[in-house]
Homo-oligomer: A and B are copies of this chain.
Amino acid sequence: MDLLRVDTIDAASGKLEDHCGSIMPRTETVNLYGSIDRVLAQNIISNENIPPYRRSIMDGYAVRSRDLGAAGDMVPSFLKISGEVLLGTDSSDLVLEPGHCIYVPTGGFVPDGADAVVMVEYCEPFGSGMLAVSKSASAGENIVQVGEDVAKGDLLLPKGRRLRPQDIGVLAAAGVTEVPVFVPWRVTVISTGDELVSPEEMPGPGQIRDINSYTIAARSAAEGLNVVKTVSLRDDETVIAAVLEEAKAESDVIVMSGGSSQGKKDMTAELIEKAADCGVLTHGIAAKPGKPTITGFDKNSGTLFIGLPGHPAAAIIVFEQLLIRLWRSMTAQSPEITIKAVVKTNIPSAPGRRTFQLVTLKDGDVPEAVPVFARSGMISPVSLADGFFEMEENREGVKDGDIVEVHLWK
């Protein structure tokens, strides 16, 4: 068994993506009300015009603009009031005759024959059903045309959109109440280690509380993935192998989080090699932090394996880089919005390795990315940081004044 397949992050991602062809996220249809934060599985095309009728954007009077001529404060035009549009009532048989006007509330139907709406502020009822209008109007004024918001056949929302509140609004407006979305990957998180105790326990000498399974499960949930199980196991190969077999049947992704010692890494690699029919794909990535990362794939069950580094900062960064990015790529999501920030100090990179630097952001004309240094195994700097930036494998660090792209923590 070759356990030394050190890849760059991009190569490791590429291998996962190649194998993932067979586990393209499935799609399902959910109700509009349950679609928030879900990822659209196809382009949504509008079947309707919005608005479906010409709509007034003001409380006012629907008029023919030519009837008003050069009406103004000094020389008003006079029109005959021939009706009123009521919201919620079918006014579609109302037709505006020349020389007439019809009252229309905000959002109301603009009757045929009218080509403008004059705000009530410029109108004064004048007795005998007449209206004095002290302003001229141009054609189309204060009217939203049929389909001006969304035309029938328009792209309403693109495949890959993670639905936000206002997207729900657009779908509601267009009457799309059955929403095609991707089925989130089912994720099992397995932490292993004789030294691990649960957060409720007081760690004795040589023990440590399990951190990574909580951060990884929470991060998965925050991304909308489906965490089916989180288990903590002793370093017993037989037991772990049995749990992996069981998890294969009910997971798209199995995340293993163990220690970073050589013995632990070897055991994780051997377990993945046995459990995954395509074996270990990557053993070690050229990243800092994140080197002791292992990936594998089981084609038969369609399960992706990822063995994370033991250090909390490394674990969350690698999970973000490999798994979250893969999910976003497979579901056609747009790249996240990053923040350009200036560094005001020299920060070294690890030669030949993709380097991830934790930072906090400090406000300024250009925001400043202030480095947060996390020694191996430390968790508090990860929580202190607003996010991180990347330095490419061939980049020799950043210098005072360089601009970097900060990825915000989710």
Tell me if A70 counts as interface (CB < 8 A to partner B). Answer: no
Tell me if A18 counts as interface (CB < 8 A to partner B). Answer: no
List residues 165-197 of chain A with CB under 8 A from any CB of chain B.
165-173, 175-177, 193-196
Q: Which residues of B contact A367 (CB under 8 A)?
A: 340
- Which of A19-27, A204-212, A241-249, A297-305 is the contact stretch? A204-212
Number of copies of this kind of chain in the complex:
2
Tell me if A156 counts as interface (CB < 8 A to partner B). Answer: yes
List residues 393-410 of chain A with CB under 8 A from any CB of chain B.
403, 408-410
Q: Which residues of B contact A108 (CB under 8 A)?
A: 206, 261
Tell me if A2 counts as interface (CB < 8 A to partner B). Answer: no
Distance in angstroms from A121 CB to nearest chain B CB is 11
Q: Which residues of B contact A106 (CB under 8 A)?
A: 259-262, 264, 310, 376-377
Asked if A89 and B410 sit within 8 Å, CB to CB, the answer is: no
- For A, the interface residue count at a CB cutoff of 8 angstroms equals 101
Q: Which residue in chain B gives the minimum CB-CB distance to A143? A: B375
Asked if B199 and A89 sit within 8 Å, CB to CB, the answer is: no
A86, A383, A403, most chain B CB atoms within 10 A: A383
Asked if A210 and B310 sit within 8 Å, CB to CB, the answer is: no
Asked if B107 and A59 sit within 8 Å, CB to CB, the answer is: no
Q: Which residues of B contact A403 (CB under 8 A)?
A: 365
Distance in angstroms from A404 CB to nearest chain B CB is 12
Chain A residues at the B interface, C-beta cutoff of 8 Å = 32-33, 36-37, 50-53, 55, 57-59, 85-92, 105-109, 120, 144, 148-150, 154, 156-157, 164-173, 175-177, 193-196, 199-212, 214-216, 218-219, 221-222, 235, 259-264, 310, 312, 316, 337, 339-340, 361, 365-367, 375-380, 382-383, 386, 403, 408-410
